[in-house]
């Protein structure tokens, strides 16, 4: 059943009513959280927005038309539209009417949502604004796909002037009907949050505005490329807000995902600059703000359309300093690939320790002080893989390789962790690299020793780590990310290699060496 509330101004009601400001809705959120289970909420991607964030998000909308149609897909208890209505009715130029359409599938939260809708209605009535509130207790994705499908027989429904959303963060199983439905609607995404944003942009009228809070993982990386390209094509990205502390946005709900808030307007024309702000947590009044040229946020020649989020000098510093590193993985004639041995698929060929007819199998546990230390006695991982015709396509010829971990833990100081595979220390004709590693190679084979050493110094430097964090919100280090980074020239790498003897220099020394290298090229 669709709940609908409609009303126009009622002077009697206006004088009789006391409408609580939106920040009091934080009690609703807290009370809902206390009567429900976090695991259940997490299952449906239900992390409710704190009032302070909702108010901040609403403040990002620019002045819009007099007749507002506001969409809140996955509305929860209605915090977002409530904050938005409050902001709209506090403006100097009041809208004539506001229609709110809120989708929500969780029946437990619907009573809270109805209450919030009534509250928004009362607020509008008290200001003489025509209000129409519609609660749709149904799946937003299917409804929006139907709504936006173009056919000869359907007339598209009216579009929205505003969308405000904090969509569910949940993986989409590629074998489900939902995934097929999305695919047939040209939406290829791996997470519900991106599907919600994608459909919401389609539901906006030209010039319509969106404010969203989502994980920042879509800003880079291969999984979100299609989404990013479409988003940046359909929308004009005007503003981005970042949180310094990943824990502070949804603090009491313990959400560790790095979230960003953004404001974008439907239209093909891109802005000259994007306003990027940064606050530690909910202290928005202390946020640092800067205006960054659009082509620095989205590089015009970047086919992957990464959204680069440099905010303060500490962040911009590495990017600028890295500007002196003029080479690229292609110019160096190198390649980077993901380890070919997927251990659970090759289980029958794995051996705990080396035996006859086996070769080394390298995992992250073999990283030690910048080199590969093999075999390890106490590790849980196997040390070897059978070398046979069945495994030959999983192995590479012995040689110098630089390995990096694909997954770093949060405790690790750096995201990019590199180690040198020195064939002389291992003494085997072939080697297997496990799939949780990436490896740098030259046409599939080993690199010259000094190039490998220089490359490992560079990859282990803090400047690379900072640069990497600039455009990556997650702890994963993909081969694509490594391919896109700037690199020192061949000559510079040879200079760096001289510092590697039996061990890798310590962090301070590496950073000093890199600093000198960058200073040299500035002169
Ligand atoms: C991250 S919560 C945010 C709730 C609210 N917008 C807020 O900011 O407080 C996402 C909400 O979407 C709802 N939801 C999940 N899947 C949905 C779907 N397919 N259609 C509509 N709502 C959905 C969840 O029940 C949850 O309440």
Q: What is the residue-wise DSSP string for 433-452?
A: EBTTEEEEEBTTBPBPHHHH
Name the region of 230 (left: φ>0; alpha: ψ -120 to 50; beta: rest): alpha
Centre of ligand 1 from the C-alpha of residue 187, in Å? 19
pLDDT value of residue 496:
95
Whole-angstrom distance, CA of residue 480 vs CA of residue 302: 13
Is the pLDDT confidence value at 249 over 70? no
Is the pLDDT at 467 greater than 70, yes or no?
yes
Measured CA to CA, the distance from residue 491 to residue 101 in angstroms comes to: 61
Please list, in sequence order, all residues whose beta carbon lies within 8 angstroms of the beta carbon of residue 35, skipping any fewer than 6 positions away: none
Q: Of 1-15, 240-254, 336-350, 386-400, where does mean pLDDT reach its minimum?
A: 1-15
Q: Is the CB of 141 under 6 A from ligand 1?
A: yes
Lowest mean per-residue pLDDT among 18-27, 333-342, 387-396: 18-27
pTM reported for the whole predicted model: 0.65
Residue 339: its pLDDT value, please? 97
Q: Is the CB of 76 under 6 A from ligand 1?
A: yes
Give the residue whose CA is nearest to atom 14 of ligand 1: 74
**Looking at ligand 1, which atom is closest to the CA of residue 165?**
6
pLDDT of residue 312: 41
For residue 519, the model assigns a pLDDT of 60
Percent of the chain with pLDDT over 70: 87
Residue whose Cα lies nearest atom 2 of ligand 1: it is 46
Q: Where on the phi/psi map is residue 35: left (φ > 0), alpha (ψ -120 to 50), or beta? A: alpha
Span from the CA of 75 to the centroid of ligand 1 (angstroms)? 5
What pLDDT does 423 receive? 97
pLDDT of 499 > 70? The answer is yes
Question: Quick check: 92 pLDDT over 80?
Answer: yes
Q: With a 6 A CB cut-off, is 44 part of the ligand 1 pocket?
A: yes
Q: Which atom of ligand 1 is nearest to the CA of 79?
A: 9
Predicted confidence at residue 313, as pLDDT, reads 38
Distance 102 CA to ligand 1 centre (A): 10
Asked whether residue 156 carries a pLDDT value surpassing 80, the answer given is no
Alpha helices in 298-448 (DSSP H): 313-322, 423-426
Which residues contact residue 157 at a Cβ distance below 8 angstroms, ignoring those fewer than 6 apart? Answer: 147
149 vs 405 pLDDT, higher one: 405
In angstroms, the CA 101 to CA 144 distance is 12
More confident residue, 502 or 2: 502
**CB of 211 shorter than 6 A to ligand 1:** no
Q: Quick one: residue 443, left, alpha or beta (phi over 0 = left, psi -120 to 50 = alpha)?
A: left
**Which one of 32, 49, 105, 144 would you pick to mutate in the ligand 1 pocket, going by the greatest count of ligand atoms within 8 A of its CB?**
105
Q: Whose C-alpha lies nearest to ligand 1, atom 27?
A: 76
Instruction: Find the 108 Cα to ligand 1 centroid distance in Å.
Output: 12
Establish whether residue 49 lines the binding site of ligand 1, counting it when its CB lies within 6 angstroms of any ligand atom: yes
Q: How far, in Å, is the centroid of ligand 1 from the Cα of 259?
A: 16
In angstroms, rounded to a whole number, what is the distance separating the alpha carbons of residues 86 and 413? 43
Cβ(74) to ligand 1 under 6 A? yes
**Cβ contact 457:510 at 8 Å:** yes
Cα of 165 from ligand 1 centre, angstroms: 9
Probe residue for ligand 1, chosen from 22, 28, 42, 46 as the CB with the greatest number of ligand atoms within 8 Å: 46
Does any ligand 1 atom lie closer than 6 A to the CB of residue 168?
A: yes
Mean pLDDT value of segment 256-260: 71
3-state secondary structure of 284: helix
Most confidently modeled range among 14-28, 39-53, 343-357, 397-411: 343-357
Q: What's the pLDDT score for residue 247? A: 56
């Amino acid at each position: 059943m669709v709940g609908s509330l409609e009303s126009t101004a009622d002077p009697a009601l206006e004088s009789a009513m006391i409408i609580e400001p939106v920040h009091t809705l934080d009690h609703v959120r807290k009370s809902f959280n206390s009567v429900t289970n976090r695991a259940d909420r997490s299952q449906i991607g239900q992390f409710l927005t704190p009032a302070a964030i909702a108010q901040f998000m609403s403040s990002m909308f620019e002045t819009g038309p007099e007749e507002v149609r506001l969409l809140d897909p996955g509305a929860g208890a209605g915090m977002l539209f409530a904050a938005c209505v409050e902001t709209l009715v506090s403006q100097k130029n009041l809208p004539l009417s506001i229609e709110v359409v809120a989708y929500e599938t969780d029946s437990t939260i619907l009573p809270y949502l109805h209450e919030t809708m009534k509250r928004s209605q009362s607020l509008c009535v008290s200001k003489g604004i025509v209000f129409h509130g519609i609660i749709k207790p149904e799946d937003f994705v299917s409804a929006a796909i139907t709504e936006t499908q173009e056919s000869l027989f359907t007339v598209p429904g009216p579009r929205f002037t505003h969308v405000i959303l904090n969509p569910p963060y949940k993986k989409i199983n590629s074998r489900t009907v939902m995934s097929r439905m999305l695919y047939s609607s040209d939406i290829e995404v791996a997470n519900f949050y991106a599907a919600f944003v994608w459909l919401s942009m389609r539901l906006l009228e030209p010039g319509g505005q969106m404010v969203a809070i989502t994980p920042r993982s879509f800003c880079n990386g291969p999984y979100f490329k299609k989404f990013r390209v479409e988003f940046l094509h359909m929308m004009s990205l005007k503003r981005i807000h970042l949180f310094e502390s990943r824990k502070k946005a949804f603090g009491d709900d313990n959400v560790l995902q790095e979230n960003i808030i953004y404001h974008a307007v439907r239209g093909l024309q891109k802005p000259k600059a994007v306003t990027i702000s940064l606050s530690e947590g909910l202290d928005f009044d202390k946020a640092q703000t800067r205006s960054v040229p659009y082509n620095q946020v989205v590089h015009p020649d970047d086919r992957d359309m990464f959204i680069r989020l440099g905010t303060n000098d500490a962040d911009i510093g590495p990017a600028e300093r890295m500007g002196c590193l003029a080479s690229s993985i292609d110019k160096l004639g190198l390649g980077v690939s993901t380890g070919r041995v997927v251990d659970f698929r090759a289980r029958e060929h794995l051996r705990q320790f080396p035996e006859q007819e086996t070769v080394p199998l390298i995992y992250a546990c073999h990283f030690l002080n910048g080199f590969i230390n093999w075999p390890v006695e106490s590790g849980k991982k196997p040390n070897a893989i059978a070398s046979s015709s069945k495994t030959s396509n999983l192995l590479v010829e012995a040689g110098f390789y630089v390995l990096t971990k694909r997954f770093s833990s949060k405790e690790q100081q750096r995201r990019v962790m590199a180690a040198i595979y020195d064939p002389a220390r291992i003494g085997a004709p072939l080697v297997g690299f496990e799939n949780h590693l990436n490896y740098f190679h030259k046409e599939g084979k080993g690199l010259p020793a000094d190039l490998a050493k220089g490359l490992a110094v560079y990859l282990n430097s803090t400047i690379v780590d900072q640069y990497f964090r600039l455009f990556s919100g997650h702890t994963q280090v993909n081969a694509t990310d490594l391919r896109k980074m700037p690199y020192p020239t061949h000559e510079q790498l040879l200079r760096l290699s001289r510092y590697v003897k039996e061990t890798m220099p310590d962090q301070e020394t590496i950073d000093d060496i890199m600093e000198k290298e960058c200073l040299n090229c500035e002169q």
